A and B are shown apart, each in its own frame.
Chain A
Amino acid sequence: MRYLPLNDTDRNDMLARIGVGSIDDLFADIPENVRLNGLLDLPKRASEMEVERRLSTMAAKNTSAGTVPFFVGAGAYKHHVPATVDHLIQRSEFLTSYTPYQPEITQGTLQYLFEFQTQVARLTAMDVANASMYDGSTGTGEAVLMAHRVTRRKKAVLSGGLHPQYRAVVEGLSNMAGDEVVSLPADPSGTEDILSRIDDETSCVVVQSPSFYGQLIDLKPIAEKAHAHKALLIAVFTEVVSLGLIEPPGTQGADIVVGEGQSIGNGLNFGGPYVGLFATRQKYIRQMPGRLCGETVDAEGKRGFVLTLSTREQHIRRDKATSNICTNSGLCCLAFTIHMSLLGQAGLTKLARINHANAVKLKTLLAGIPGVEVLNAAYFNEFTISLPKPADDVVERLAERGILAGLPVSRLEPDNRDIANLLVVASTEVNTDEDRAAFADALKEVLA
């Protein structure tokens, strides 16, 4: 087997050195009646060429985003990632290193984590950020638990603009932990009255902007109302590029900011791995989940970085930990850091402007089609349209025409008939004018 350095001579010599007759003597602790004598009922080893052939065949059955006019967003976005990023994250020293528990020989990882934390704190305009969560949705679940610890309350209020699958993650976790969740109904246009739902029992209010439907939300009044009741505002975003152009949650009064960082540095990957961004105020750092990297000095006084405040974490605190999380999104976090370092604020701002401009252009085209109504007045690179017929069927028919058009809301909210005709569409820098025209033309045809 090509990955195994030992040969049979080695194995026999080593068994002799150990003083056992056969390899099974080393497995003697496994009760005989449950020990496998034959092989697992699976195919035998395959050559590199054979594996490549089989997996390539599977991959070829999928329509990849780069091959068609592509407008699906709703929490994951098709962006262009510079070739440098993928090259660098495949450096052996990054790819095949473990969590930096030995800081003397993992300053590479630790320094980029420190850069990452600084980038995220600045993007969100918050005091501190951690070294990443699994993704935006699980980060949102963790943010709610953190708010409960801070406020010693147990009720979360979720905006109807929150991504339905993020909502499901929070609800699942809260139900299991015995915490209360108030989920507002779907809110495509950002007109819900969330303020009246905040009271003295509220631990936190969770609001996404740009919302799942693309609507930009003014967080300031929500923060004010939450703070008046000593509750926290958790601001969520799924499109981090938006922070290049729109007002960050930190200057609007958010106490915890959680977001999906996939757009920067990371591909679509059918939903994972992604990278959760998590930032908060200085006063709450000891209640934060996840890893934190901090600056310090070594025995010679040289600057260095270490994982810190680990007394919050499970490997020290066990059942008293702030979270059970152990890993972060290491390599995805590195991809984010490198891509963001390449962009800088100059590049990010420009990228954000192009994204928004492309969405405006798409909106203008789609709004001109009879029967199509745009539901958002203020948006970033994504918005929701209402169609004269069920959106899932329209999307299938557009897919037949070679256009991947967006997300029919009914796919995630099948029980809500009021929103069966809604389609969430995104346009990023990857879309050309031709892509948008093809989409509009095809939609016109399908609706005719």
Chain B
Amino acid sequence: MSMNTQGRPTAAGEADDSFRPKTFTGNRGLDMEEPLIFEFGSLETTGVDLDEDDGVVFELGGHERKEEIGLPGLAEPEAMRHYVRLSRNNYAIDSGLYPLGSCTMKHNPRLNEKMARLPGFADIHPLQPVSSVPGALELIDELAHWLMVSTNMSAVAMSPKAGAHGELCGMMAIKAAHTAAGRDPKIVLVPESAHGTNPATAALLGYKVVSIGAKDDGTVDLDALKATAAEHSGNIAGIMLTNPNTCGLFERDIKLIADLIHAADAYFYCDGANFNAIVGKARPGDLGVDAMHINLHKTFSTPHGGGGPGSGPVVLSERLAPFAPLPFIRKTDGGLELVETASATTGGEQPFGRMTAFHGQMGMYVRALAYMMSHGSDGLRQASEDAVLNANYIRVGLQDLMSLPFGERPCMHEVLFDDSFLKDTGVTTLDFAKAMIDEGYHPMTMYFPLVVHGAMLIEPTESESRAALDLFIATMRDLVMSAGRGETDRFSGAPYLAPRRRLDETAAARKPVLKWTEPDPAEVTPAAAQ
């Protein structure tokens, strides 16, 4: 054995592959177990130094809180270590390929974070005098311009807080337009492949959802749509259609669908979740769209942040533009005006109401505009092309081993496989996905869309290099062949190497434990107390 002069061994030594120490802490090297703050924080501790209030006589009118709140505090180093340790149990775009179809996990540039934190954007109040925030109006107006030009639409309602909120906004504008025309149609058409938010949104507004089937090629069945439109003639408020659709395919009949819907006195709501595939390649306004939300957190790369915040501005056609909700910015010769109340409206402006307090997700607007400016018209188109190129590269890299439900045709920014290639292997889509975790990948979207069996929807985005795609393809091929060879252990118990093994979701739902409670001392055994 080689040693240095102090006698410390410097070679790796001989390893016994099978031995894994059972550690005292439960930690496995860098993989740390971390308790909840309630289990180690103290009610006395605070990590924030504050002055004493100086003996002012309170004016709370007898409304003082009497009970303890029960919130432990952490000193700054404790908080730092706790949340850093938690963060290390997360998969993230910055640590690896994140091929969640329909979710668009692309690179989040840090310039955008820096810009959003400029005090002139981050430290301004939504209700401070409008005269003190001209730059804020300018930023919103500038982003609105970029969104309208890239979609060729007449107006944009900026305030919706997320994609589903944007859907609600768009459908409310549609409902308001019908009401203004003296109509009260009751039905919204939604294709089977739609995101769950579409039917949920329509139902929220009291609409009856009628489902439209798909053809064998994964796109909307135009004949079925015609028949349904005829059956419910005069009673259709609109259609909610995702394009490119959730199978990763562009709806070739989109113009015909739009014409059909318009002929029925109805509106075309486009779910813009997949707009990222076609920015700079086609404009929704040219496709007959009346309203479409844009997920700034997908297409324009504002961070997903573990589930939010999102931002879902809605572009509107000329017919719907008058109904855009409050607030909005009006351009006048004197500059930009912020219209916040119905009494400030003029002429044809007929806002249907308000989606949220204040003006929407300013912090997300700054990031999205920084992203769009950075790309420019040429970069935006290149990003769409690269996203589509990468998805097709994966498609051809896997199509001989995995199964494409709609044949070997080009896809847009995401490629959809079904589980027929796993038939008779004893491995399910879920098992397959969990085995990807052991290989260091976040799984793709599973079991969505609902129109194919055991769906696996892969969206690599434009952020992946060719080398990263090659390794991903090779890994997937290895997994498929492994499943084919009957190596079911690799799948059925996966993941083996993640911070947690598979979690019992059934138990969680049957007897929900939604907050921490003090354990009953009688039930704490000495062993557990250690």
Min CB gap A192→B, angstroms: 16
Q: Pick the contact of B393 from A17, A274, A324 — CB < 8 Å?
A: A17
Q: Is A39 an interface residue (CB 8 A)?
A: yes
Q: Is A172 an interface residue (CB 8 A)?
A: yes
Question: Do residues B196 and A104 form an inter-chain contact, with CB atoms below 8 A?
Answer: no
Q: Is A287 an interface residue (CB 8 A)?
A: no
Q: Is B204 an interface residue (CB 8 A)?
A: yes
Question: Do residues B115 and A55 form an inter-chain contact, with CB atoms below 8 A?
Answer: yes
Task: Report the separation of the CA atoms of residues A384 and B113 in the bound assembly, to the nearest whole angstrom.
Answer: 36
Q: Is B41 an interface residue (CB 8 A)?
A: yes
Interface size class of B (residues with CB under 8 A): 35 or more
Question: Do residues A272 and B125 form an inter-chain contact, with CB atoms below 8 A?
Answer: no
Of B97-105, B262-270, B419-427, the one with at least 4 CB within 8 A of chain A: B97-105
Task: Mark A231-251 against chain B: 1 for CB-CB distance below 8 A, else 0.
Answer: 000000000000111111001
Min CB gap A375→B, angstroms: 13
Q: Is B66 an interface residue (CB 8 A)?
A: yes
Question: Do residues A1 and B383 form an inter-chain contact, with CB atoms below 8 A?
Answer: yes
Question: Do residues A52 and B65 form an inter-chain contact, with CB atoms below 8 A?
Answer: no
Contacts of B343 in A (CB 8 A): 414-415
Contacts of B122 in A (CB 8 A): 64, 267-269
Q: Is B67 an interface residue (CB 8 A)?
A: yes
Interface size class of A (residues with CB under 8 A): 35 or more
Question: Do residues B410 and A29 form an inter-chain contact, with CB atoms below 8 A?
Answer: yes
- Give residues 476-530 of B contacting A (CB, 8 Å): 493, 495, 498-505, 507-509, 512-516
Contacts of B255 in A (CB 8 A): 31, 34
Kindly report which residue of chain B lies nearest to residue A3, judged by CB atoms: B107
Task: Report the separation of the CA atoms of residues A104 and B505 in the bound assembly, to the nearest whole angstrom.
Answer: 12
Q: Pick the contact of A93 from B64, B69, B95, B375 — CB < 8 Å?
A: B95
Task: Report the separation of the CA atoms of residues A169 and B159 in the bound assembly, to the nearest whole angstrom.
Answer: 12
Q: Pick the contact of B92 from A97, A137, A338, A356 — CB < 8 Å?
A: A97
Contacts of A74 in B (CB 8 A): 127
Min CB gap B215→A, angstroms: 13
Q: Pick the contact of B164 from A327, A380, A429 — CB < 8 Å?
A: A327
- Give residues 241-287 of B contacting A (CB, 8 Å): 249-252, 254-255, 278, 280-283, 286-287
Question: Do residues A96 and B200 form an inter-chain contact, with CB atoms below 8 A?
Answer: no
Task: Report the separation of the CA atoms of residues A64 and B71 in the bound assembly, to the nearest whole angstrom.
Answer: 32
Q: Is B12 an interface residue (CB 8 A)?
A: no
Q: Is B214 an interface residue (CB 8 A)?
A: no
Contacts of A247 in B (CB 8 A): 63-66
Task: Report the separation of the CA atoms of residues A419 and B124 in the bound assembly, to the nearest whole angstrom.
Answer: 25
Question: Do residues B392 and A26 form an inter-chain contact, with CB atoms below 8 A?
Answer: yes
Question: Do residues B149 and A40 form an inter-chain contact, with CB atoms below 8 A?
Answer: yes
Task: Report the separation of the CA atoms of residues A67 and B62 in the bound assembly, to the nearest whole angstrom.
Answer: 36
Question: Do residues B41 and A318 form an inter-chain contact, with CB atoms below 8 A?
Answer: no
A298-B59 in contact given A46-B373, A331-B303 (Cβ < 8 Å) = no
Q: Is A121 an interface residue (CB 8 A)?
A: yes
Task: Mark A166-186 against chain B: 1 for CB-CB distance below 8 A, else 0.
Answer: 101101110111100000000
Task: Report the separation of the CA atoms of residues A340 and B47 in the bound assembly, to the nearest whole angstrom.
Answer: 10
Question: Do residues A55 and B64 form an inter-chain contact, with CB atoms below 8 A?
Answer: no
Question: Do residues A169 and B149 form an inter-chain contact, with CB atoms below 8 A?
Answer: no
Q: Is B114 an interface residue (CB 8 A)?
A: yes
Question: Do residues B352 and A122 form an inter-chain contact, with CB atoms below 8 A?
Answer: no
Q: Pick the contact of B206 from A11, A178, A316 — CB < 8 Å?
A: A178
Q: Is B363 an interface residue (CB 8 A)?
A: yes
Q: Is A297 an interface residue (CB 8 A)?
A: yes
Question: Do residues A63 and B132 form an inter-chain contact, with CB atoms below 8 A?
Answer: yes
Q: Pick the contact of B89 from A15, A106, A356 — CB < 8 Å?
A: A106
Min CB gap A367→B, angstroms: 11
Contacts of B226 in A (CB 8 A): none
Task: Report the separation of the CA atoms of residues A276 and B185 in the bound assembly, to the nearest whole angstrom.
Answer: 33
Question: Do residues B282 and A106 form an inter-chain contact, with CB atoms below 8 A?
Answer: no
Task: Report the separation of the CA atoms of residues A347 and B252 in the bound assembly, to the nearest whole angstrom.
Answer: 60
Contacts of B325 in A (CB 8 A): 172
Task: Report the separation of the CA atoms of residues A216 and B464 in the bound assembly, to the nearest whole angstrom.
Answer: 54
A327-B310 in contact given A64-B123, A104-B501, A136-B357 (Cβ < 8 Å) = yes
Question: Do residues A34 and B508 form an inter-chain contact, with CB atoms below 8 A?
Answer: no
Contacts of B195 in A (CB 8 A): 314-315, 326
Q: Can you name 9 A-B residue pairings with CB atoms under 8 Å?
A: A27-B282, A55-B139, A59-B135, A135-B161, A244-B65, A304-B500, A324-B164, A343-B47, A377-B59
